[in-house]
Structure 1
Amino acid sequence: MGISALTPPPKSEDVHETLLEFPDNRVLIDLCGEFDRNLAQIEQQLSVQIIRRGNQLALMGEADSREKAAEVLGALYQRLEAGRSVEPGDIDGEIRMGGSAEGTGVRAGDQLEMFKGGKVEIQTRKKLIEPRTEAQKAYVQALYNNELAFGIGPAGTGKTYLAVAVGVNMFINGHVDRIILSRPAVEAGERLGFLPGAMEDKVDPYMQPLYDALNDFLPGKQVEKLKEEKRIEIAPLAFMRGRTLSNAFVVLDEAQNATTMQMKMFLTRLGEGSRMVITGDRSQVDLPRGVMSGLRDAERILAGVESISFNYFTAKDVVRHPLVARIIDAYEADEQG
């Protein structure tokens, strides 16, 4: 069942109101959230006031804001009717993506070539992942439609997270046989010295962000089993030399810290039946002064090459704490000023 919108005449010249009626009061309770926190988030982000009256929600504010809030509330209500939860990130995603409630969703992996309407969804073993901005949606589409894809932008925009999600989806659907995750073992402005333990113990701290993403999509025991079987590999970039990576989904993270020679070496590892994703943030290069970033070189050299896509993110696509976006904006403004 859907919701019905009633727009009565304004109570006065200064008050404009939209009424939304919800047929299922139990779903409405979930829509509002504990202590109406979901409504509070929508109010804050869209500059509207929302008042609950029985099984109705009254929206007050500018016409555009009320219309957008009504779309978002409708989409979230349908999401709850379908048996799915609503978290703060889901609300933020609906607001960013326009609050469209049309379609039942296109599941990435079931339709690899095109995404025609509906929402893009990435099914993994532990959760269903949805892009939360238009740039993220375009990026996910590019990951499925191109053999080599670049995701470039600031921290917190989901570049690596979505790439690993797509890799897991393609793996569990049988489109690839292996997942290979790599990144340069470069210290972020600190000298950590020699780390104790065996080789794996020494490189694991550099690879931890990749483990974190992988464990979000697959049960921990399965990750360990697949690692033992070499069907999941997480290794420093230097370990890729001399290999041909066939029938694999390959991700190079933090690519801004790869040198030009390392980048060329890695890109030429691509084998039959494989897909490769390169992610990086040009503002966080940790290479020694005077060493050219291989990511910047690859952008220049590979622009326009068939079957290679470049997707760019900005602070508007940050899906971490809202303050992260403001921090990125402040640093960018300082650099330009």
Structure 2
Amino acid sequence: MKGDTPVQDGTDVRETVPASDMTHVVVAFDDNRLIGDLFGQFDQNLALLERRLGIEAVGRGNQVIIKGGHEGCEQARLALEALYQRLQQGHELHPGDVEGAIRMASTEAGQLSLPTLEPRSRLAFAQISTKRKTIVARTPAQDAYIRAMDRADLVFGIGPAGTGKTFLAVSYAAALLERGEIDRIILSRPAVEAGERLGFLPGDMKEKVDPYLRPLYDALYEMMPGEKVERGMLSGVIEVAPLAFMRGRTLQNAVVILDEAQNTTAMQMKMFLTRLGDNAKMIVTGDPSQVDLPRGMVSGLREALEVLEGVEGITRVRFTEKDVVRHELVARIVAAYDKAGAAAGEAAASTAGRTGDGPTTPPRRG
């Protein structure tokens, strides 16, 4: 694969870009067999690049001619090169992969220099591989998260729904199990409510808890063959347990995942974190803005993030609505709720200021 040096061109392709800022880039790819998948059916991948980056991308043979602003053209080139690299490695391309490549290419280099990242090429996205599937980071935060799981024994993945926190954690655990680096995977989650009072639900303990751990199962079945998952559960290699059942245990040679951690109490979180044993990793995921605990009860996740600030060996990765990898509408929904929550908080603070501790004038006596 080779990319030509951008040449300045005075063609006015986009009215929003001054003619002096227009760039004309030609990117050529060596393997013609991959071009159809790279461009997409009816050139849909090129069309997505055009919409997202405000450029023109025209495929001609094994080349893509890109016209537009300098920044947009450079980002389109980086995205295409990353996607072509994936195809060379034998992976299929899905719409989400194209979106992910655009996000990564659009991220400024300074933002990619996260504490959990090694110096690298912008195209060398972190990935998780099993025999069944390879997952490639689609956002800078996902990239940092995967690398953090490699480097730290305790990782907090914090952020809104749809950012891949749980899916990537389970995928990472499945990859380590397949490579023989750990002996088992332990999945836990506060079920129903923080107190985990499951007695009123029908069935045995597994049947009571299963509905609340469905997201964890889904990720396992996507990364591992179904029969292997079933055998693992029967043999105890894959264990699913309510948080309360962690008490008194030392968890060794395992990846231990705590999902929905915002709904743990402070005591539950401390109990869970102190179960860490030799050759074990803990991954804690949650969204501090979605706490379902009774009013007045402190979230164990929030407290842990404060208490463990700066502790060596612990890494936290924060996701935002920009990292949502579900339907693009989900990111806008998350952003709207965050904006509404911030506005409500400001209004509450303003009301408290008017009615609270300020000086008051004694009532007149008539």
TM-score (norm 1): 0.88
The superposition leaves residues 230-286 of structure 1 with CA deviations (integer Å, 9 ceiling, x where unpaired) of 010011111112211111110000000011111111111111221111110011111
- Structure 1 runs (4+) deviating above 6 angstroms are none
- In structure 2, which of residues 51, 54, 64 is the aligned counterpart of residue 57 of structure 1? 64
Alignment pair present for 1:279 and 2:279:
no
In structure 1, the residue corresponding to 2:59 is in which secondary structure?
Answer: strand
In structure 2, the residue corresponding to 1:98 is in which secondary structure?
Answer: helix
Q: Report deviation, 1:133.
A: 1.4
Q: Report deviation, 1:60.
A: 2.2
Q: Report deviation, 1:11.
A: 4.2
Q: Report deviation, 1:28.
A: 1.7
Alignment pair present for 1:296 and 2:295:
no
Determine the structure 2 residue equivalent to 1:229. Answer: 235
Q: Is the 8 A contact 2:193 2:263 kept in 1?
A: no
Q: Is the 8 A contact 1:2 1:78 kept in 2?
A: no
Distance in structure 2 (CA, Å) of the matches to 1:47 and 1:192:
53
Determine the structure 2 residue equivalent to 1:128. Answer: 134
Structure 1 residues 77, 296: closer, same or farther in 2, change over 3 A? same
Determine the structure 2 residue equivalent to 1:70. Answer: 77
In structure 1, the residue corresponding to 2:105 is in which secondary structure?
Answer: coil
Q: Is the 8 A contact 1:19 1:59 kept in 2?
A: yes
Structure 1 residues 248, 292: closer, same or farther in 2, change over 3 A? same
> Which amino acid letter does the alignment assign opposite residue 43 of structure 1?
E
- In structure 1, which of residues 89, 101, 104 is the aligned counterpart of residue 96 of structure 2? 89
Distance in structure 2 (CA, Å) of the matches to 1:260 and 1:17:
57
Determine the structure 2 residue equivalent to 1:199. Answer: 205
For structure 1, the residue ranges without an aligned partner over 5 or more in a row are 101-112
RMSD of aligned alpha carbons: 2.5
In structure 1, the residue corresponding to 2:252 is in which secondary structure?
Answer: coil
The superposition leaves residues 18-62 of structure 1 with CA deviations (integer Å, 9 ceiling, x where unpaired) of 333344433222211112111111111111122233443222221
Distance in structure 1 (CA, Å) of the matches to 2:315 and 2:209:
30
Distance in structure 2 (CA, Å) of the matches to 1:21 and 1:306:
46
Q: Report deviation, 1:225.
A: 0.3
The superposition leaves residues 273-308 of structure 1 with CA deviations (integer Å, 9 ceiling, x where unpaired) of 211111100111111122111001111111111211
What is the number of equivalent residue pairs in this alignment?
323
In structure 1, the residue corresponding to 2:26 is in which secondary structure?
Answer: strand
Distance in structure 1 (CA, Å) of the matches to 2:321 and 2:264:
23
Structure 1 residues 57, 266: closer, same or farther in 2, change over 3 A? same
Structure 1 residues 282, 18: closer, same or farther in 2, change over 3 A? same
Alignment pair present for 1:39 and 2:78:
no
> Which amino acid letter does the alignment assign opposite residue 205 of structure 1?
P
Structure 1 residues 5, 22: closer, same or farther in 2, change over 3 A? farther
> Which amino acid letter does the alignment assign opposite residue 289 of structure 1?
R
The superposition leaves residues 132-190 of structure 1 with CA deviations (integer Å, 9 ceiling, x where unpaired) of 111111111211211111111111111111111111122122221110010000259xx
Distance in structure 1 (CA, Å) of the matches to 2:254 and 2:3:
45
Distance in structure 1 (CA, Å) of the matches to 2:90 and 2:5:
23
In structure 2, the residue corresponding to 1:97 is in which secondary structure?
Answer: helix
For structure 2, the residue ranges without an aligned partner over 5 or more in a row are 13-17, 108-115, 344-366
Determine the structure 1 residue equivalent to 2:350. Answer: none
